[in-house]
Structure 1
Amino acid sequence: MSHRSHWSRTRTMLTLAAVLAAPLAALADAERGADVFDENCAECHSVASSLKNKKGPSLFGVAGRNAGKIDGFHYSDALLASGIVWTPDRIDAYVTQPKAVIPGGKMKFDGIADTAERKDLLDFLAEQK
């Protein structure tokens, strides 16, 4: 066996071992994300395609949307002035610590500390379009 062939096989085995060793929770799951949404967000937010607002604005189509752009919802001045575009990274930061991302915002939610739950939630929200 050549050195190159041995190295290629070894690299393949190491990659396979790393994939198999990765925690399953690290893989985002929209179905679990729906549960996270129900537990943490649904009391105040809707994902209905009719853009139905509740205590908070609808999150239907939130991924890629500019903050403060749902007609008929009264946003805080802090959120309106934020200039945020709801990218996955911004949504993740916001649901981790809303008050840190938008000081003075109206959302009364302390955040989701669990990284896997947030990834699942992001996967779910990305499908709501």
Structure 2
Amino acid sequence: MRQNLHLALFVIVAAGWAAPPARAGDADAGKDVFKSECAECHTVREGRNKKGPSLFGIVGRKAGSIADYDYSDALKQSAWTWTPEQLHTYLSQPAKKANPGTKMKYEGLDNAKDLDDLISYLDTQH
């Protein structure tokens, strides 16, 4: 029986059905990354937009869904949900490449630790 369970787990993992690995970041360090990388255009205050939309509650939110922010059509039509993995993909490259037609002007964060820390920090903002 135990051997069959191990075989079943192997098949699931080998087939790619397992959940992606969790990214372990330091939310405290991520607050500093937010300040240096994001705060010029974004805030984490609920209901307050700057040049970019508020990132309060971003993790788990549908992209382009804050009612009082004028998103690009490209982002509104993306059908994305801001999961940690989607944020990682989006923020690790230039925004114009990640979502052609976006209004966001960001060249991406290529330091994996800083990116994981930032996403961990954003995940605490709810």
State the SS of the aligned residue for 2:44: coil
Structure 1 counterpart of 2:30, from 22, 33, 36: 33
Please list every run of at least 4 consecutive aligned residues from structure 1 whose deviation after the TM superposition is greater than 6 angstroms. none
Given the alignment of the two structures, is residue 104 of structure 1 paired with residue 96 of structure 2, yes or no?
Answer: no
- Distance apart, 1:72 and its partner CA: 1.1
Amino acid at match of 1:78: A
Given the alignment of the two structures, is residue 63 of structure 1 paired with residue 59 of structure 2, yes or no?
Answer: yes
Which runs of 5 or more residues in structure 2 are unaligned?
1-22
Given the alignment of the two structures, is residue 46 of structure 1 paired with residue 43 of structure 2, yes or no?
Answer: yes
- TM-score under structure 2 length normalisation: 0.78
The CA distance in 1 between the partners of 2:56 and 2:41, in whole Å, is 13
- TM-score under structure 1 length normalisation: 0.77
Q: How many residues align?
A: 103
Larger Rg: 1
The CA distance in 2 between the partners of 1:122 and 1:115, in whole Å, is 11
Which runs of 5 or more residues in structure 1 are unaligned?
1-25
Q: Per-residue displacement from partner, 1:48-88 (whole Å, max 9, x unpaired)? A: 13x20000000000000001111211000100111110000
Normalized per residue, the structure richer in helix is 1
Given the alignment of the two structures, is residue 114 of structure 1 paired with residue 111 of structure 2, yes or no?
Answer: yes
Given the alignment of the two structures, is residue 90 of structure 1 paired with residue 90 of structure 2, yes or no?
Answer: no
The CA distance in 2 between the partners of 1:32 and 1:85, in whole Å, is 24
RMSD after superposition: 1.2
The corresponding residue for 1:81 is 77
